[in-house]
A = this chain, B = another copy of it.
Amino acid sequence: MTNKPPTQRSIGRPGLTRARVLACAVELADRDGLEALTMRRLGEELGVEAMSIYGHVANKDDLLNRMVDAVFAEIDLPPTSAPWRDALRHRSVSFREVLRRHPWAVALKGSGTNPGPATLRHHDRVLGTLLTGGFSLELTAHAISALDSYIYGFALQEKTLPFTTEHETAAMAETMLAQLATTEYPYLVKFTATHVLRPGYSYGNEFLFGLDIVLDGLERAREELHSTDK
């Protein structure tokens, strides 16, 4: 019994740490969606009264902020060894995979949160990749806006789709076709019937096409920047 001051860990029931609260909250949101994540339900999942959670988190908003930062911590940072394009392509693919694992994070991004350390670190590394890769300050701003907009938007659209497997897609398309007024939406009908119902269709495959368009555009802008320098 030394005169050790009370630590964060000593607050709350033994075994209940902030890390465990966060991990459980993320798992609950993954499994049952953001609307299932209530303080009471989370407490239940942790084997604890809802109010005990407030020992490790200021309030629900604080919990959500920390969850977003935990998600950012999962994203691969752009490897410093690779050239800017490969480095950012790698982290972009990782970013998208993480957002697919945690779709609720996209919605949470929409509410004004103040960034945690993992989020700041992520952005710092992406900035570094561009600034040391031959991008001007202005072009770096353009690049991050274009790239992250595309990734977030793709994740948002992917999350909205009510189907995942090819079979589900086909079933959904069939019912949609049956309801649609053929004369009123001719292109929608044609597109659904001949493209979406095609065997092998999966929306997820679209990601790389758009990503490479954005990266190509950035590379072109970067080259232009250096050719005018000469």
Contact = CB atoms under 8 A, between A and B. Distances in A.
Interface of A: 106-107, 109-113, 120-121, 123-125, 127-128, 131, 137-138, 140-142, 145-146, 148-154, 156-157, 159-162, 180, 184-188, 190-191, 194-195, 203, 206, 209-210, 212-214, 216-218, 221
Contacts of A191: 127, 131, 137, 140-141
A157 B146 contact: no
Contact of A107 (B107, B149, B154): B107
B131 A185 contact: no
Contacts of A152: 152-153, 156-157
A160 B213 contact: no
Given A146-B150, A152-B152, A120 B180 contact: yes
Copies of this polypeptide in the complex:
2
A217 B206 contact: no
20 contacts: A109-B156, A109-B160, A123-B188, A124-B185, A124-B186, A127-B188, A131-B187, A138-B195, A145-B154, A145-B157, A145-B209, A146-B210, A146-B213, A149-B153, A150-B210, A152-B152, A152-B153, A153-B154, A213-B214, A217-B217
